[in-house]
Amino acid sequence: MRKIDGSRGQVVVHEWVPVGEPSFVALLAHGYAEHAGRHAELAERLEQDGAAVYAPDHWGHGYSGGDRALIDDPDALLEDFSRVYEIAVAEHPDLPVLLIGHSMGGLLATLFLQEAGRPVDAVVLSSPLLGGNPGLEALLELEEIPEIPIDPSVISRDELAQDAYLNDELVYHGPFQRLTLEGLVDVVSRAQEGGGFGDQPLLWIHGTGDMLVPFDLTRDAVENLAGPGTEKKTYADARHELFHETNKDEVYKDVFDFIHRKIKRQ
């Protein structure tokens, strides 16, 4: 791990570097309330495949500073992620870049593509928060938001994965804060109205049983943004965290098949 100066304070970036010279760079954006370390298996598989992996704990998450899981300024997270991109490409110039965003990180990855103006060779969006969640948005209509944390059963059908999530001290297990909901609703709308994916090589993966980021709404949002370079993989009954699901081997195979087709190594 290394510490960098983020837009609002200190941000911790997790790194995995392969033995020998890397053949590509992978940037990983994690989801709401969790941290980059929860995606260590994905990062290690990327490392074994030749990637230099950079994965920040977003501001307010993991080992980074800030109030826990408070997303009152999503643009600050986007700016921090852009800084990590700049560090990665400066340290590994001329290597192809893979961008992977999960859940809220998929929303950030989409905004990065739409607004940052920085080249990316391939993108994987895992259960991206692009279609919103009417149930969470309805909480904003309440005078007082109830203290209801994320139920680990919506994370995965795998009970071991549920227990790991529940017992992870770096995961925020408190209720949604109003400023967080307002911030996320705003940037979801911004992404929906932003530019489409065009020829960008991009893989969208999602489980039809996702209760946290509903499949149908996300499918409609992705279809509106999709371009000639967009590919889609869906998994029957799978829940929110596909890399921690009971069918994760199938998911990994699909993702790495896409990476091997789209990342042109030197």
For 173-214, the pLDDT digits (tens) are 999 999 999 999 999 999 999 999 999 999 999 999 999 999
Coil vs helix vs strand at 37: helix
Closest by CA position to 47, among listed 200, 204, 256, 249: 256
Closest by CA position to 72, among listed 176, 199, 228, 210: 176
Structural domains of the chain in order of their starting residue, each with its CATH number: 2-262 (3.40.50.1820)
Q: How confident is the model at residue 241 (pLDDT cuts 50, 70, 90)?
A: very high
Cβ(50)–Cβ(263) below 8 Å: no
User: What is the greatest pairwise CA distance in the chain?
Assistant: 57
What's the pLDDT tens digit per position in 32-49? Answer: 999 999 999 999 999 999
Angle at 27 between CA 266 and CA 248, to 5 degrees: 95
What's the pLDDT tens digit per position in 248-261? Answer: 999 999 999 999 99
pTM listed for this prediction: 0.97
Check residue 164 and give its pLDDT: 97
